[in-house]
Every structure is written in C-alpha cells, then in structure tokens.
Amino acid sequence: MNLRRYKISAETVRLLLKERDYALQANVKTKEGGSVPERDAQFRYINNQVKKFVVRGDPAISVDTKKRELVGNFKNSGKTWRKK
C-alpha cells in the first residue's frame, strides 16, 4: 500500500472544509417525545405479575437495568463540521 503522509495544520483543514461548503456547528440538544403508549400497559402487566407472586407468598424483585442519564437541559459542548 502506498501511503503518503502530509503535515497539515488545523487552519488549512478549516479553510479546505469551508471551500467545500462545510460549517462548524454546535451540537444541539433535542427533547425526546412524550411517553410511549405501550408504557402504561407494560407497568400494568408488571404490577399484575407482582400481585400474583405476593398472593402466592413468593418474592417479587424489581431490577432497574436502564442506563442512568442526566435529566434536563444540560450543556452539550462540542462542535462538528457539517454540510451547510
């Protein structure tokens, strides 16, 4: 494989990208939509299962497997080059 290595500055990259109609744009946070309609049905199903276990005297264990994320409009610093 014939690799050519050139040293190039960040300023040269910026100029080349601008020539090709790219612009440096800040990341934008988007708010997710509302609750999924099936979500309430899922909780009702789990609640019914728990009630059945409790009536039989069996243990019911709740496990949270979701990734923890910050809730709210937090800063999302960073920029990327995108086509205008």
Domain boundaries, the chain: 8-28+77-84
Question: Which pLDDT tens digit goes with each residue over 30-81?
Answer: 666 666 677 788 888 989 999 999 999 998 887 777 777 766 666 667 788 7
- List the alpha helices (DSSP H) in 28-78: 38-56
Nearest to 28 by CA among 71, 70, 73: 73
Question: Which pLDDT tens digit goes with each residue over 4-36?
Answer: 888 889 899 889 999 999 988 877 766 666 666
pLDDT the model gives residue 32: 64
- pTM for the model stands at 0.37
pLDDT the model gives residue 27: 74
Locus of tokens 């601008």 = 18
